[in-house]
């Protein structure tokens, strides 16, 4: 199986008890547990369970990202010589953007997060591009019409992964306008599904791993 992709428990399809049990197994066997798309009850169940089976573990819950990361004291996190940057258009993009950054960080990448640089304030977008330019790979999150990844990809040379966000209302407001816009982007980029912060984070992490390996070579 694929190495380097951290096991993560997608909570949204499971009972709180199932999630807690899977998290316990994960920390016992790999020294780490990552839970994504978790609601309040699932987080509480995981906390209780890990308190019991792994009381020495550190546990970080990121409510906006609905993500929980636990490390056993013995866990030795990977560390890559490569940077993943994440840019967002506005506060509505924060949840999946944070989820992406957490996953890429767990894969060992250095993280740079640049928020609120949507194209409605184009000067700030252009400024942001300058700070994104030297990252090894860039995730750009955007809801509504999803113009931000297209604009940034036109300004920098690194590969850009577009992360469409379900923010909006009316036709296309569930992230579909943003997704379709990214698929049609007139600047070349690749795309993940709506709100798929996990997928964007893994893909960016895999690219970072390749670059780290190349740097080490």
Ligand X SMILES: Nc1ncnc2c1ncn2[C@@H]1O[C@H](COP(=O)(O)O)[C@@H](O)[C@H]1O
Nearest CA-CA partner of 73 in 59, 92, 87 = 59
What values do phi and psi take at 111, rounded to 5?
-120, 140
- State which of residues 70, 148, 151, 153 lies at the interface with Mg ion (CB under 5 A): 148
Least gap, CB of 10 to its own copies (angstroms) = 8
DSSP-derived pairing of the beta strands 58-62 and 137-142: unpaired
Least gap, CB of 110 to its own copies (angstroms) = 14
Q: Which residues contact 13 (CB under 8 A, 6 or more apart)?
A: none
The verdict on 155 binding its own copies (CB under 8 A) reads yes
The verdict on 26 binding ligand X (CB under 6 A) reads no
Residues 81-110 that bind ligand X (CB under 6 A): 90-92
Angle between helices 197-216 and 94-106 (to 10 degrees): 30
* Exposure class string for 108-125: b at 16+ Cβ within 10 A, else e: bbbbbebbebbbeeeeeb
Q: Which does 7 bind (CB under 5 to 8 A by kind): ligand X, Mg ion, its own copies, none?
A: ligand X
- State which of residues 44, 53, 59, 206 lies at the interface with its own copies (CB under 8 A): 206
Total residues interacting with Mg ion, rule: CB under 5 A: 4
Total residues interacting with ligand X, rule: CB under 6 A: 14
Name the E strands within 143-179.
Answer: 160-164
The verdict on 142 binding Mg ion (CB under 5 A) reads yes
Tokens of 151: 């604009």
The verdict on 140 binding Mg ion (CB under 5 A) reads no
Q: Which residue is nearest to ligand X (CB)?
A: 198
The verdict on 39 binding ligand X (CB under 6 A) reads no
């Amino acid at each position: 199986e694929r190495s380097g992709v951290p096991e993560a428990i997608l909570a949204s399809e499971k009972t709180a008890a199932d999630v807690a049990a899977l998290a316990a197994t994960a920390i016992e066997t790999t020294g780490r547990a990552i839970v994504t798309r978790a609601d309040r009850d699932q987080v509480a169940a995981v906390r209780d369970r890990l308190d019991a089976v792994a009381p020495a573990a550190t546990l970080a819950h990121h409510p906006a990202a609905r993500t929980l990361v636990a490390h056993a004291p013995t866990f030795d996190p990977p560390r890559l010589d490569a940077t993943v940057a994440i840019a967002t258009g506005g506060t509505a993009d924060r949840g999946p953007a944070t989820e992406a950054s957490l996953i890429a960080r767990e894969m060992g990448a250095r993280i740079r997060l640049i928020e609120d640089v949507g194209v409605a304030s184009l000067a700030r977008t252009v400024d942001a591009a300058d700070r994104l330019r030297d990252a090894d790979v860039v995730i750009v999150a955007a809801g509504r019409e999803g113009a931000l990844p297209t604009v940034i990809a036109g300004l920098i040379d690194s590969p850009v992964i577009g992360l469409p966000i379900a923010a909006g209302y009316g036709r296309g407001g569930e992230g579909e306008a943003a997704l379709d816009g990214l698929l049609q982007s007139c600047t070349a980029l690749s795309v993940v599904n709506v709100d798929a912060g996990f997928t964007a984070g893994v893909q960016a992490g895999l690219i970072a791993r390749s670059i780290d390996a190349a740097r080490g070579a």
